[in-house]
DNA sequence: TATGAATGAGTTTTCATTCAT
DNA sequence: CATGAATGAAAACTCATTCAT
């Protein structure tokens, strides 16, 4: 009689723990020891499910990007005005700030630290490209539907993405100085105004 | 007869070396050994001028911010149209991309890694605030001079700063996917359009 | 109804697998994991049949020595000239080189690694003694039958054994530099000439 | 004022310690910790002089081979009868048994364990080749001077070397069962008899 | 019988930092 | 001022072994 497969559960448990500790410390400052303890496992136990620290990080990255990419795909199928859809998207991100902040804390650290591991670099790049493409699709629709000026959708998408990432970065660096919601909303509004026909 | 003070020279020499190596590797992957060798000194020699690795990092950060902040202050004293001044500012940054990229490669890694060291955190925050204030001053002037809509200057400045930082981040993560110049210019143009009276 | 006893079969299966992997890697570099997988079992399964890694090694050692010792005993019962018998013995070993090489690859590593485990040490010693005694019996017969000079049979046997082990060692260390067949044959011939009456 | 260079001294000190502990335990059973403590240094101190455990082993190997190779070269320049020279060589080795045993304990383990590290493998092979060439030179001289039968010098040298290595191996595996001096002498005598004209 | 998840001690190696000279 | 030897505390990762199922 096969025991129930604990593998998925354990992996989730470990990623959950990793998320939690990576949120507060830099990658090099988090030891496998810590991750294991936080997950309620032994070091060897963690290695049973992930072959290396980097593999944990990569899994984390993928896990965090998933729901956001899903939402972008959903919005691409909507007929609502593009400005509204983009506003919605960023409003939702802002609303989920509490949940997302932690994710992005890790995510952004990753963007900035990919240097050494090429495999990780590829993951990061793939996810970055997916974000950009998702946004670009919306903007392209906006242009096609006559809502936006005929801009380069890819550049505009990258700019929006950059704005978001940059503000998240600044906010993480100094949470008290940056009011994430207001500023992101303000920045997105500026860009959308710039995109629309005068 | 006192020997000429080599202190300043040595410090610069060390920071120069640190810059060079930090540009290509994460902070934890760069050893004091490496910095010392690159600077043409011994490990102990480096410690004569900087009490710790973190102190080197902080000094680096300050050094890199200086010329940019100077330029912002200069521009604040100009009577030229604000749109032009901001365009100039970012055009200059883009033009100096080659020189600045390395600086920012380090700078951004710092933003993302401040976690543990409070002193370092303060440096990073102070510099971030200075950038924002510099940009906010220009925007406020733009509003006062009637060039811009009556936006919250601080938010807009932060958005511009975020755009810049975020694009730099994305570009560092994937230089081939991001055309820094085009995208930054496009993003800044969008925001400026959004700022101006229709 | 008792299931057929798979024990012997499983043990053979495990030893076979161990042989295979030990042939190419040092003992410390082979994990029980690897042995188990090669044998098509789980780790726990291997432990069902062998109490420890060392026990596997000891069993391997014994298994490899058996056929050679058998052949020596057979030859001791033969009336053929001793020179011929010894030549035959080594010729057979050389002929079976392909099959034996792997066995001895493991065997010799064992000789060199007995250090820590006394039980293992005893196995190794017992087998070494059996080889030497087998050869000594032949040589003693040669002396008694007047074929050889009145040498110390035990010393001569040990020398022959040493020659064999040493060449195997050298050959394993550098297969391209050592022509095992030629050299062993040449060496044995030299010794036999030295043994015989002028 | 430069301090006296302790580097050579320290390296010798470390190799000395390594020798001592490798003599009694297999390579994997000796930790850098142990080597360091035996040498009276910290772990980091050992790493200051040797980049890895393998590097220590390689250095050890070279150091141990040196004097023996020197002696072989010396003997090649002598006009004494070759039988005498070879007897002398092995007699000296036997006489220095106490000093050499430890060296060879390490040496032989190396022969048997080269598997993983190619660099180490090359060292081992080079030294093996040097031994064989040294002996072959002597034997070739013996043939040329008419003392020996026209044998293949390289094969005979390898056989002598194999005899020596093999006996050392057997002796290390079971010091009580093998009388190294007697047996090596007996074996060498047999081979020399076989080499000489009847 | 057999599985494979889990353990945790142990290994090599790195590195910021100190300090005698 | 400057050197570079030395320290020692970590870190990532491995692996023989156990045991509930």
Q: Is residue C31 less than 8 Å (CB to CB) from chain D?
A: no
D148 and D170 belong to one structural domain: yes
Which chain C residues in 105-124 lie under 8 Å from chain D, judged by CB atoms? 108-109, 111-116, 121, 124
Chain D residues within an 8 Å CB radius of C191: 187, 190-191, 194
Chain C CA closest to residue D178: C158
> Residue range D120-131: average pLDDT?
86
A163 and A136 belong to one structural domain: yes
How confident is the model over C91-137, as pLDDT tens digits? 988 887 666 666 666 666 666 666 566 777 788 888 889 999 999 99
How confident is the model over A180-194, as pLDDT tens digits? 888 999 999 999 999
C1 has pLDDT over 60: no
D100 has pLDDT over 70: no
* Helix, strand, coil share (%) of chain C residues, nearest 5: 80, 0, 20
How confident is the model over A158-188, as pLDDT tens digits? 999 999 989 988 887 888 888 888 899 999 9
Closest CA to C191 of D195, B53, D82: D195
Closest CA to C106 of C37, C158, C56, C46: C56
Q: What is the pLDDT of residue C7?
A: 84
Name the residue range of residue B177's domain.
58-195
C33 and C112 belong to one structural domain: no
B1 and B66 belong to one structural domain: no
How confident is the model over D101-114, as pLDDT tens digits? 666 666 666 666 66
Q: Total domain count for chain A?
A: 2
Q: What is the pLDDT of residue C116?
A: 60
Q: Is residue A81 less than 8 Å (CB to CB) from chain B?
A: no
- Partnered with residue D196 across adjacent β-strands are D148
C42 and C59 belong to one structural domain: no
How confident is the model over C67-96, as pLDDT tens digits? 889 999 999 999 999 999 999 999 988 887
Q: Is residue A151 less than 8 Å (CB to CB) from chain B?
A: yes
| Cβ–Cβ under 8 Å, residues B186 and A125 | no
Which chain B residues in 169-188 lie under 8 Å from chain A, judged by CB atoms? 169-170, 172-174, 177-179, 182-184, 186-187
Q: What is the pLDDT of residue B4?
A: 54
How confident is the model over D142-175, as pLDDT tens digits? 999 999 999 999 999 999 999 998 998 888 778 8
Q: What is the CA radius of gyration of chain D?
A: 19
CATH number assigned to the domain comprising residue A14: 1.10.10.60
B83 and B178 belong to one structural domain: yes
B137 and B170 belong to one structural domain: yes
Q: What is the CA radius of gyration of chain A?
A: 19
Whole-angstrom distance, CA of residue B114 vs CA of residue B158: 19
Quickly tell me which residue has 């997916």 as its tokens.
A130
Our separate counts of H helices and E strands in chain C read 9, 0
pLDDT band at B173, cuts 50/70/90?
confident
- Strand F contacts (CB < 7 A) among B residues 25-44? 41-44
Q: Is residue A156 less than 8 Å (CB to CB) from chain B?
A: yes
CATH number assigned to the domain comprising residue C91: 1.10.357.10
Chain B residues within an 8 Å CB radius of A126: none
Whole-angstrom distance, CA of residue D166 vs CA of residue C161: 8
User: Which of D9, D35, D50 finishes a domain?
Assistant: D50
Q: Is the CB of B45 under 7 A from strand F?
A: yes
Closest CA to C98 of C195, C175, C46: C175
B162 and B99 belong to one structural domain: yes
Quickly tell me which residue has 């958005």 as its tokens.
B159
B85 and B40 belong to one structural domain: no
How far is residue D82 CA from its own chain's centroid?
A: 21
Q: Is the CB of B53 under 7 A from strand F?
A: no
A60 and A45 belong to one structural domain: no
Whole-angstrom distance, CA of residue B114 vs CA of residue A175: 12
B81 and B150 belong to one structural domain: yes
Both structure tokens of B159? 């958005």
Of C25 and C39, the one with more pLDDT: C39
C118 and C188 belong to one structural domain: yes
| Cβ–Cβ under 8 Å, residues D111 and C172 | yes
Of B182 and B97, the one with more pLDDT: B182
Whole-angstrom distance, CA of residue A140 vs CA of residue A72: 13
Which of the nucleotides lies closest to D39 (Cα–C1')? Answer: F6
D187–C25 CB contact, under 8 Å: no
Selected residue of C61, C183, C197 to mutate for chain D interface (largest D Cβ count, 10 A) = C183
């Amino acid at each position: 009689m096969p025991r129930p497969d604990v593998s998925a559960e354990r992996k989730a448990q470990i990623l959950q723990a990793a998320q939690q500790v990576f949120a507060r410390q830099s990658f090099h400052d988090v030891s496998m020891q810590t991750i294991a303890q936080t997950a309620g496992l032994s070091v060897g136990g963690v290695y049973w499910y992930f072959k290396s620290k980097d593999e944990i990080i990569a899994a984390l990255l993928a896990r965090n990007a998933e729901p956001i990419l899903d939402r972008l795909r959903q919005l691409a199928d909507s007929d609502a005005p593009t400005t509204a859809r983009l506003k919605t998207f960023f409003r939702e991100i802002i609303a989920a700030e509490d949940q997302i902040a932690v994710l992005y804390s890790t995510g952004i650290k990753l963007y900035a630290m990919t240097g050494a591991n090429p495999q990780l670099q590829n993951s990061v790049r793939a996810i970055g490209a997916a974000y950009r493409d998702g946004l670009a699709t919306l903007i392209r629709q906006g242009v096609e539907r006559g809502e936006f000026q005929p801009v380069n959708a890819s550049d505009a998408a990258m700019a929006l993405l950059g704005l978001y990432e940059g503000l998240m970065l600044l906010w993480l660096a100094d949470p008290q100085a940056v009011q994430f919601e207001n500023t992101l909303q303000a920045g997105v509004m500026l860009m959308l105004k710039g995109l629309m026909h005068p």
